Amino acid sequence: MAPSLTDTRELKTFVVDEGHGVKGLSELDIKTLPELFIQSHEKRLDMSKVVHHESIPVIDMSNSEDPDVIKLICDAAENWGFFQVVNHGVPLRVLDDVKDATKRFFSLPADEKKKYLFKNSPTKNVRLVSSFIPEVDKVLEWKDYLSCFYVSDDDAFAFWPRVCRDQLLEYMKESEPLIKQLLKVLITRLDISKLDETNEPFLMGSRRMNLNYYPKCPNPELTVGVGSHSDVSTLTILLQDETGGLYVRKLDTDNWVHVPPIKGSLTINIGDALQIMSNGRYKSIEHHVVANEHENRISVPIFVNPRPSDVIGPLPQVIARGEKALYKHVLYSDYVKHFYRKSHNGKDTIDFAKFVDCAFSHGLPTIYEP
Q: Which residues, 194 to 223, sit near ligand OGA by CB under 6 A?
A: 210, 212
Per DSSP bridges, beta strands 58-60 and 82-86 are parallel
Shortest distance in whole angstroms from residue 367 CB to ligand OGA: 16
**Nearest residue (beta carbon) to Ni ion:** 231
Shortest distance in whole angstroms from residue 112 CB to ligand OGA: 23
Closest alpha carbon to 239 in 176, 283, 297: 297
Which residue stretch of 43-51, 118-126, 238-246, 340-348 sits at the interface with ligand OGA (rule: CB under 6 A)?
238-246
Tell me whether residue 190 or residue 226 sits nearer to ligand OGA (CB atom): 226
Tell me whether residue 169 or residue 226 sits nearer to ligand OGA (CB atom): 226
CB 83 within 8 A of CB 186: no
Residue 216, classed as helix, strand or coil, is strand
Q: Which residues, 13 to 42, sit near Ni ion by CB under 5 A?
A: none
CB 265 within 8 A of CB 86: yes
d(CA 153, CA 116): 18
Tell me whether residue 195 or residue 298 sits nearer to ligand OGA (CB atom): 298
d(CA 20, CA 188): 47
Q: Which residues, 296 to 335, sit near ligand OGA by CB under 6 A?
A: 299, 301
The answer for residues whose C-beta is within 8 angstroms of residue 307's C-beta and 6 or more apart is 201, 202, 205, 206, 332
Q: Which residues, 177 to 196, sit near ligand OGA by CB under 6 A?
A: none
Q: What's the distance, CA 176 to chain centroid?
A: 17
Tell me whether residue 246 or residue 257 sits nearer to ligand OGA (CB atom): 246
Which residue stretch of 50-58, 139-147, 223-231, 312-320 sits at the interface with Ni ion (rule: CB under 5 A)?
223-231
| Alpha carbon separation from 205 to 98, 306, 365 (Å, rounded) | 22, 5, 26
Under the binding rule (CB under 5 A), the answer on residue 272 touching Ni ion is no
Under the binding rule (CB under 6 A), the answer on residue 281 touching ligand OGA is no
Q: Which residues, 239 to 258, sit near ligand OGA by CB under 6 A?
A: 240, 246
- Enumerate binding residues for Ni ion (CB under 5 A): 231
